[in-house]
Structure 1
Amino acid sequence: MSDEQAAPVPSRYSEARQEFEVDVVVIGGGQAGLATAFYLRRAGLVPGRELVIVDAADRPGGSWPRMWHGLRLFSPAGFSSLPGWMMPPWDDATRGFPPRDHVVEYLTRYEEKYDLHVLRPHRVESVRRADEDPGGRLLVTADGLALSARAVVSATGTWDRPFWPAYPGMRTFAGRQLHASDYRQPEEFAGQRVVVVGGGNSAAQILAEVSTVAQATWVTTRPPRFLPDDVDGRVLFTTARARIEALEQGREHAGVAGLGDIVMVASVKHARDRGVLRANPMFTRLTAGGIAWADGTTLACDAVIWCTGFRPALGHLRALGLRTRDGHIPVGGPSGTRSVGEPRLHLVGYGDWTGPASATLSGVGPSARATAAELTSR
């Protein structure tokens, strides 16, 4: 089906309660959901009829519109694209590393280009089995929406489940605490004393921004690992691809994690030049007015920004009873994304456990392609 021949949305979509049967439901309209839908569409499923994408957000772009304003990719647009259509280039003094809004615009145009008919905003509340028939249908329910599907692809990512570690004194700290998912721009911390917690890219980039307007202190659970200045997303892309090939051949490969944790984007380099990238050991508790270490050292602060990562957003799958103690759902099959306990369910884009580098723009393609191939072969 060509781009010009995209099918119209059936009239039942405009009913007060949308109830219909489809072949595949993709839950999540971000990068993983769009990439999977692209391959399903290319395999012959008609978006809006046989294939339905349901998204909780009120606008396109997945989690990207909710990320902080100054976020930039680690690599040029050509190394940050979804299958089928290259991200338009971004050229400026940052060596062409696109900002957040450029990614949002790209994802918006991507779903328009392939006429994917994303239904939003509909937050999926549950996925459950219609009956005891292992070859039967799965029921997907959301506010104002009920679907019956032969198969479901969960592509909800992790942004909706920020991880907060537990430290003594968190409830008594009188200042502001926020997770990186709630951080937007440095100006709101102007003139304050801010502690940034975390040893990854989010912490380094947020520290670099906040330190331009505030007195910023960085704390990490272990010394941060910086990549060489000449390593950016292009090298990470190549390394991730090499890991995928190695794993397919049964060989071990450390992947991107073997290179380091923090990419030296322009803002982080500037922070280094200003002497900001000095990490302190992790504190042991919070006090009413700040933080304290085990040796009795204290530091007063006005805010703590927790850059402590995310967990898979899988609450909508609870009724299927598939999660293990580590919070993941075991997957396998030819695609590596099919649920072991429920073969009608696939999980795409949650990280290495559902496919190497699958939580990235450039890395989700192989998992999406393999998922679509396995679904359509059945």
Structure 2
Amino acid sequence: MSSHSDPVVIVGGGQSGLAAARAVRAAGLRPLVLEAGDRPVGSWPGYYDSLTLFSPARYSALDGLDFPGDTDHYPHRDEVVAYLERYAAALDAEIRTGVRVTSVTSSGRAFLVHTADGEQIAASGVVAAGGARPLVPDLPGAAGFTGELLHVAGYRNPKPYAGKRVVVVGGGNSAVQIGHELAEVASVTLASHAPVQFLPQRRRGQDVHHWAVTSGFDRLPPEWLIHLVPGRLVNDSGLYQRALQDGAMERRPMFTALDGDNVLWADGAAERVDAVLLATGYVPNLPYLAELGALDANGMPLHTGGPSSTHPGLGYLGLEFQRSFASNTLRGVSRDAEHVIAAVAAYAGGAPAAIGL
């Protein structure tokens, strides 16, 4: 039986979970954040060493706490980690680290959240905030490839690749940023299904994120963005485009297969390479919701803009293009949190019973 004293359990203590906790507290309910890692900073510490945000600090903050430093500077990975730690410390919320959720089950109109250490936590609502795994495409010949095949989730810096032949698969921000830094020490090709689409970093004297926020572009729904955005966009000050034009790194159509230590290019040529790095993104990783029946056959969450379409009281945050272009960004997730938590909090707070249901 649900109790209004039961917390809203938020699974994941990264940017999405912290934004959710703030929104739950603002709704007058008690948030409980469960984070598997040792700090409430999400996956940021695990990203590659040189990672720098493409959005300036003024557009890289969660609601309630400005990002420190020059508002026009582009924060480094470690600055984001430090910011999230400060944000978590300032929240009026219980945050438990080192707690891995193994499953969620329903209990009447409430939930039971099960953890790896055997604890069962009664919850009036649940928010799945983050949780992603590397997307590894099915590459013909990958099983027999004798070079290094690595998703960029495991990449840190260019040092191990000095003097080597490297193919980076992907055409987005990470692929281009990593390819560019590798090109300083290695021979690099970007392999992608479509040419790289560059979005100028500055427009009419302002960073492009200024226009994304002030024009309302950040709020356009994903159903419209499909018609407006020509695939993956790479924010560029001109540095990356020049590198491709000058031959510092090259871009070729996606290879057709791997064969021994070779890649087989679309034109039929075989080329020996030392490493293939996959900058192919991430997909939701929410196995603890499988038993509940909240996921589709591919393990993807069933939802409409964040609120679950299978279980009242369950919501999602941090999904790419969940509600907008900015949904899984520092500047956008707080807005999504307000939307999702409004529904979760109304349910957890007894809205159905209030009208006799």
2:350 maps to none
Q: 1:124-166 CA deviation, whole Å, 9 max, x = no partner?
A: 1111113xx3x2x2111112232110110001242xx111111
Pairwise CA RMSD of aligned residues? 2.5
Query: 2:295 touches 2:302 (CA, 8 Å); kept in 1?
Result: yes
Query: CA, structure 1 residues 294+96, in 2 after alignment: closer, same or farther (shift >3 Å)?
Result: closer
Describe the shift of the 1:99–1:149 C-alpha distance in structure 2 as closer, same or farther (beyond 3 A): same
Q: How does 1:267-286 map to 2 (within 5 A)?
A: 268=240, 271-272=243-244, 274-286=246-258
Structure 1 length-normalised TM: 0.82
1:370 to 339, 346, 350: 339
2:98 counterpart of 1:125:
no
Tell me the distance in 1 between the aligned counterparts of 2:249 and 2:182: 12
**Matches for 1:87-126 after TM superposition, within 5 Å:** 87-90=67-70, 96-126=73-103
Q: For residue 279 of structure 2, what is the aligned residue in structure 1?
A: 307
**Deviations 1:227-247 (Å, cap 9, x if unpaired)?**
124255514632884352x54
- 315-324 vs 293-302, which moves further: 293-302
Which residue is 1:357 aligned to? 326
Task: From 192, 201, 210, give the equivalent of 1:220.
Answer: 192
2:218/2:326 contact within 8 Å kept: no
Kindly state the Cα deviation for residue 184 of structure 1 after the two structures are TM-superposed: 0.7
For 1:184 and 1:266, the matched residues in 2 are separated by 24
Rounded to whole Å, the distance in 1 between the matches of 2:215 and 2:314 is 26
Distance 1:88 1:58, change over 3 A: same
Aligned match of 2:111: 138
In the alignment, the residues of structure 1 paired with residue 217 and residue 39 of structure 2 have an alpha-carbon distance, to the nearest angstrom, of: 35
**Structure 1: unaligned runs, 5 residues or longer:** 1-20
Letter in 1 for 2:10: V
1:160-183 CA-to-partner distances (Å, cap 9, x unmatched) read: x11111122111111111101111
Question: Does the Cα contact within 8 Å between 1:71 and 1:99 map onto a contact in 2?
Answer: yes
Please give the TM-score of this superposition, normalised by the length of structure 2.
0.87
User: Does the aligned pair in 2 maintain the 1:77–1:98 contact within 8 Å?
Assistant: yes
Deviation at 1:327, TM superposition (A): 4.2
Q: State the AA in 1 paired with 2:319.
A: Y
8 Å CA contact 1:138–1:150 kept in 2: the answer is: yes
What amino acid maps onto 1:285 in structure 2? Answer: A
Determine if the alignment matches structure 1 residue 58 to structure 2 residue 58. Answer: no
Q: Does residue 61 of structure 2 align to residue 86 of structure 1?
A: no
Name the aligned partner's letter for residue 182 of structure 1: G
Structure 1 residues 354 and 146, CA gap change in structure 2 (3 angstroms): farther
Is the 8 Å Cα contact of residues 33 and 93 (structure 2) preserved in structure 1? yes
Output the CA distance in 1 between the equivalents of 2:11 and 2:239.
35
Q: Given that residues 54 and 120 in structure 1 are in contact (C-alpha distance below 8 angstroms), is that contact kept between their aligned partners in structure 2?
A: yes
Look up the SS of the partner of 1:319 in the other structure. coil
Structure with the higher strand share, 1 or 2 = 2
Q: Retained in 1: the 8 A contact 2:200–2:238?
A: no
Alpha carbons of structure 1 residues 255 and 174: separation in structure 2 relative to 1, 3 Å: same
Cα offset for 1:252?
3.9
Does 1:208 pair with 2:180? yes
Amino acid at match of 2:128: S
- Inter-partner Cα distance in structure 2 for 1:256 and 1:268: 23
* Residues 377, 323 of structure 1: alpha-carbon distance in 2 compared, 3 angstrom cutoff: closer
Which runs of structure 2 are paired with 1:1-40 in the superposition (5 Å)? 22-40=6-24
Q: Percent identity?
A: 37
Cross-structure match for 1:234: 209
Q: Does 1:173 align with 2:145?
A: yes
Shift of 1:323: 1.9
| Long gaps (5+) in structure 2 | 348-357
Q: How does 1:238-257 map to 2 (within 5 A)?
A: 238=213, 241-242=216-217, 244=219, 246-247=220-221, 252-253=224-225, 257=229
Q: Is the 8 A contact 1:237 1:363 kept in 2?
A: no
1:373 offset after TM fit, Å?
A: 2.2
SS at the partner of 2:168?
A: strand
Per-residue Cα deviation, 1:308-349 (whole angstroms, up to 9, x for no partner): 1111111110011122245433323xxx32111101210111
- In the alignment, the residues of structure 2 paired with residue 319 and residue 102 of structure 1 have an alpha-carbon distance, to the nearest angstrom, of 37
2:209 corresponds to which letter in structure 1? R
Contact 2:201 2:208 (C-alpha < 8 Å) held by counterparts: no
Do the aligned partners of residues 56 and 354 (structure 1) sit closer, same or farther apart at CA in structure 2, a change above 3 Å counting?
farther
Q: Deviations over 1:9-43 (max 9, x none)?
A: xxxxxxxxxxxx73200000011110111111223
Alignment check: 8 A CA contact 1:162 1:311 kept: yes
Q: 1:214 to 1:252 in 2, by over 3 A?
A: closer
What is aligned with 2:235? Answer: 263
Is the aligned partner of 1:156 residue 2:136?
Answer: no
